[in-house]
Amino acid sequence: MILLTGATGATGRRVLDRLLARGHRVRCLVRNPARLGTRRVDVQLSLWHLTDNRLPGGALRGVDTVIHLAGPLSDQPIGQLEELNATASWRLADAAAAAGVEHFVYASALGAGSAAGCRFLRAKQVGEHVVSGAGATGGMGVSIVAPSLILARGQRWASWAQALSLLPVVPVPARSAGRSRPLSAADVADAIVAVVEGGTPPVDRPARHELAGPDEYLVRDLVPALHTVVGRRRRTIGLPAGVLNAAVAVLERPGAADREELAVLTCDTTGRHGTRDLEALGVRPGGIVEALGG
Ligand SMILES: NC(=O)c1ccc[n+]([C@@H]2O[C@H](COP(=O)([O-])OP(=O)(O)OC[C@H]3O[C@@H](n4cnc5c(N)ncnc54)[C@H](OP(=O)(O)O)[C@@H]3O)[C@@H](O)[C@H]2O)c1
């Protein structure tokens, strides 16, 4: 039995489809089962929130593998992103190890590090650390998957690009050195399934897989590139970070944008392995055209 969190997200939905198609039995921890659509009849369900101190009774019964994908890029009314990504991951990994789970797969992010320029990537670094620690003390193998920016139609970055394309001139960070290697949610899902089926790493040596797309973009080039893919070419104007931040702050109230998400875009999420780790998992990653086309 596989326990999956984040099954209603861009990556999680695709992971779930693949697991079910390959005959795995899956239990999903979700906060809103309706968001699973028709898939809710194909899985076992437990209601759960990242801020819950305890797992629902029986959530880990019979589970040999946990895939933990739930982890927002920004704060939520019920918790800050540090709690939602790091503390919640520690609670889940600790409970999984105590319940005898063999393999814990954790979605971190490329660029995660204690010196990263945004809270999300610092929180993911802590998440990697606490999950690996829970595995080492509890005798559980840990795999970390660290994607660059994940793209899919209708998903958050795609919605950003869509909203920006309504402007006659699109503002981009002028001097940001933030680079990424975007890849599709489908490729990330293929990689996660390959990690799950590839076996459990040794308890004292967590496996870390960098998931990076084939092309590298500076953030100011990524936005027009996304617009080209969706057929809406726009001129861009480079703005200083402070001005952009102030503009995004205004859009935060209606939920159209978020300063933490902007901060992630201006960080380096390229990694060091290029597409090598994905290819080792049998995935040939497509670029942004494939990501937004499917
Ligand atoms: N998107 C990126 O560019 C990117 C880059 C690097 C790493 N990552 C990481 O990769 C993983 C998958 O990303 P994604 O973009 O596919 O995710 P996503 O589409 O944003 O989906 C997030 C998932 O987490 C769930 N979730 C959020 N807050 C929750 C809460 N408080 N309690 C319970 N569940 C909650 C969501 O449930 P609802 O459907 O109920 O909202 C959804 O299933 C995440 O861990 C993310 O941090 C993402």
Instruction: Give bridge partners of residue 217 from the DSSP assignment.
Output: 180
For 33, half-sphere exposure in the C-beta direction (CA atoms, 13 angstrom radius) is 13
Do the beta carbons of residue 67 and residue 15 sit within 8 Å? yes
Is residue 294 over pLDDT 70? no
Q: Which residues contact 245 (CB under 8 A, 6 or more apart)?
A: 259, 262
Å from CA of 289 to ligand 1 middle: 22
When the pLDDT of each residue in the chain is averaged and rounded to a whole number, the result is 93
Of all residues in the chain, the percent with pLDDT exceeding 70 is: 99
Is residue 63 over pLDDT 60? yes
Amino acid 75 reads D
Å from CA of 169 to ligand 1 middle: 30
Which ligand 1 atom is nearest residue 151's CA?
3
The pLDDT value given to residue 161: 83
More confident position, 167 or 291: 291
The pLDDT value given to residue 224: 87
Which ligand 1 atom is nearest residue 50's CA?
32
Name which of 113, 135, 132 is nearest 124 in CA terms: 113
Mean pLDDT throughout 275-282? 98
What angle (nearest 5°) sits at the alpha carbon of residue 194, between those of residues 27 and 214? Answer: 125
Site to probe by mutation for ligand 1, drawn from 69, 78, 211, 260 as the one with most ligand atoms within 8 Å of Cβ, is 69
What are 93-118's pLDDT values in tens digits?
A: 999 999 999 999 999 999 999 999 99
d(CA 104, CA 106) in angstroms, rounded, equals 6
Site to probe by mutation for ligand 1, drawn from 5, 28, 31 as the one with most ligand atoms within 8 Å of Cβ, is 31
Mean pLDDT throughout 48-64? 95
Tell me how crowded residue 98 is: count the other CB atoms within 10 A of its CB.
12
Is residue 148 over pLDDT 90? yes
Do the beta carbons of residue 76 and residue 116 sit within 8 Å? no
Mean pLDDT throughout 19-36? 97
Å from CA of 50 to ligand 1 middle: 11
d(CA 137, CA 58) in angstroms, rounded, equals 22
Site to probe by mutation for ligand 1, drawn from 14, 29, 150, 264 as the one with most ligand atoms within 8 Å of Cβ, is 150
Is residue 125 over pLDDT 90? yes
The pLDDT value given to residue 231: 79
Å from CA of 31 to ligand 1 middle: 12
Å from CA of 167 to ligand 1 middle: 28
The pLDDT value given to residue 234: 83
For the ranges 99-103, 218-222, 256-260, the lowest mean pLDDT is seen at 256-260
Nearest CA to ligand 1 atom 22: 9
**Protein residues with CB under 6 Å of any ligand 1 atom:** 6, 8-12, 31-32, 35, 49-50, 69-73, 76, 84, 107, 109, 147, 149-150, 155, 185
Q: Which residues contact 159 (CB under 8 A, 6 or more apart)?
A: none
Mean pLDDT throughout 146-166? 88
The pLDDT value given to residue 174: 84
For the ranges 61-75, 160-174, 211-225, the lowest mean pLDDT is seen at 160-174
